[in-house]
Structure 1
Amino acid sequence: MTLNVKESTIVETQAIAAKKAAKQMNFLSTDDKNDALNLLADHLEAEYKMILQENEKDLEAGRVKGYDEAFLDRLALSKVRIFDFADGLRQVAMLEDPTGKTISDWTLENGLRVKKITVPLGVIGMIYEARPNVTVDATGLALKSGNAIILKGGSSALHSNKAIIKVIHQALAKTKIPSDSVQFIDSTDRKATQQLFTMKEHIDVLIPRGGASLIHSVINQATVPVLETGVGNCHLYIDSEADVKKTLSVLVNAKTDRPAVCNAIETVIIHKDWLKQHKEELIKTLKENSITVFGDNVTLETIPDALPATESDWANEYLSLQIAIKIVDELDEAINHIERYGTKHSEAIMTENKQTAEHFMKLVDASALYHNASTRFTDGGVLGFGAEIGISTQKLHARGPMGLPALTTVKFLMTGNGQIR
């Protein structure tokens, strides 16, 4: 099946309009962009009831289709969440403008002056699933960094996203930022998404945000450069010298605070000596928090009602109150397990031994590492970015929570007086 000719034309027209708007944004001041973000925040708060009404349509459709609770949690909005979106935009407005910064400035022997400055990427294509908050976060970060953005959200959040985009366009119409700088593709045809993959003449970078299948699809099919975000099979390693009170507090927070997000832990690796000493406290904590356990043979012998872990359990992003537990004899065994099954997102170690922690931090390959703290801090808003456009698990250009600097590149400016080579 091919994309409807009319829809194909609409998608390309939107991309062309975004590219034109991106050029216009080069002439905007920081104040112009900040004023727009603050006004957009005000509009979101003023229109929250309308947005919630549309969100309920998506939730009802999701219930009919049998979406699980984790999925519905990602999809659901509330007055508090919408006001949090607005606050995020205001925080982004207060951040330093990442564009037009001089990184280096020097003069060659022949008098040619060379300046390296930061500039916007241009047009960003954002492909994401059931997270209406991404519509707001991505828009705010793109506009503050001087980029235009083309948004393609999942069909499960279509009503919510269309409502948010309506508010965004209403707000931008009152600012110096062209409304065409924010485009939303409302087609539910997968071909519309795939069309974005190959529009290299109009789009400068693609950012996929969602499950593994979406991300792999974009990476494998796109001819447009991809800023890869990753799924979160995050691990918590409990060392033999871990403090029991700190450890259980971190475990509960990292698993239960919001189980459906990518920075929640999915596997706990426990040193056998710690388990031997603190198994009763662990069992009590897991039971009190209704956490279902899938484990290896030692776990099955230790924790009542634990279920046998299959190979897929070690790689699974549960996004629910389920967890895999593996018991190890030494630190390097834990590190090897993380290397095999981890997604290079967020990994944590609980230990009072600084040398052990340093060994873990040096050898574990992930975008965010924690010593005696919850993985839930891998979040752009929490880390002071105002918001994030995603969490990069790759190593080129950007890694970890991506805020404003990740949406810029560089340009070399040469000023001479007739020099020739």
Structure 2
Amino acid sequence: MNVLLERLGIRKLLNLGVTEQLGLESSVRVQLSNLIAFLGIFSNVQYSIFFTIAEAPYYQVMNFVHTIVVFVFFMVFYFNLKGRYALSKFILVFIISVPLLCVSTFSFGTSGGFYYYFLVFAIIPFVLFSYDDKWWILFLFLMNTSFYVWFEFFGRPGVFREGTLLYRKDIQDLFRVNSVVSCLSFVALVMFYFLRNINRIQKEMIRINDHKDRIFSILAHDLKGPMGTMSNYLGYLTRSLPEREELVMGLKELKKSINQSYLVLESLLDWVQNETKKTQCNPKNLNFSVLLKSTMDILNIQATNKEILWETKVPNDDSIYCDERMTSTVLRNILSNAIKYSHPKGKVVIEAKHVSSFMEIQVLDQGIGMTSDLLEKIIEGKRFTSEFGTVGEKGTGLGLLVCMELLKEQGGSLRVVSLPDLGTKIFIQLPLKR
């Protein structure tokens, strides 16, 4: 079904005017207005053909009305495309009743059952407008309901010329059946689409709440500890002046806490920016060895404290086509994790080689590794509890998630191979220079 919609261009039509700046609920209402306009165009063209064939009374006038209404429906698409959503919706809810009013007044009367559509159009405002527009919803509901009541109790059957198709009772009944089936189908389609998107909104709300809980958890645990350590030590310094060796040792611990807090905060901000689609990707040709050296310099204290040995096998002159900030964040997260989960005096190996049109970077550690369940959660982007490092370092559980999303933005990829107690090997692919 999705493939068929894509080929017919209907999906693109339904998404006219939908932008990243719109919230999910607003996007759904824009899509619904496009859907109703599309159905309106289809039904007006269809009935123009039917009226002409059946020689309905004043069918020339009705065809003229249908032409104007179809033009206005196209204007609904245009206004949505230009971001004038409110105008688009108000035009739509008023214009859809016009052909029904005309056909039930001048042409068919109550014979074809077209006035049943007024009941359908009475509920359309409830899915197109938000609760803030409740008075418009009430007005449009009462207007369409009044039209229905008028034709149901005060309307008269149409007068059809003898010899035409509509003079036959079975043809009139056929139009009535078509009206009932069309009304039910219209309601079912709109409500199904509405329910489908309500389901999307509910899932998005669950995802947002999960992200909010994760952010609060990180702020409460992963930043509270280092901040408390820094506060306690600075308080100690204000009360007494320690010996030089104690001072140097304390300052090293203080710097370690600051670096840990910085990495946690940076990972959190990168993740939030990517989730809210505010990350800007500006790729250019960059020397990979330079990027790698800058990252290793930042993490050098962390590696030195655990006596981790770096082993690099990276060509000095190879360039990749990437966003510098995003790629630096990816490398920093990957190498920081490699240090964190490596045993003291361990080794982290970094290799780079060409694979097709990509550079593949491999980062291998001989640390504690990961279980298959944890690895599966990371790959699927599910929430999980980050394990402590080999000397008690705490992580956010966001590092690899951020890396996968940032690499995806640049046309790259990430793959993880890991076994408990045997270490982890991470494969990163980024496009080569252009």
Note whether the superposition's TM-score is higher than 0.5. Answer: no
TM-score bin (small chain): under 0.3
Q: Which has the higher strand share?
A: 1
TM-score (norm 1): 0.22
Normalised to the residue count of structure 2, the TM-score between the two structures is: 0.21
Name the one with the larger helix percent. Answer: 2
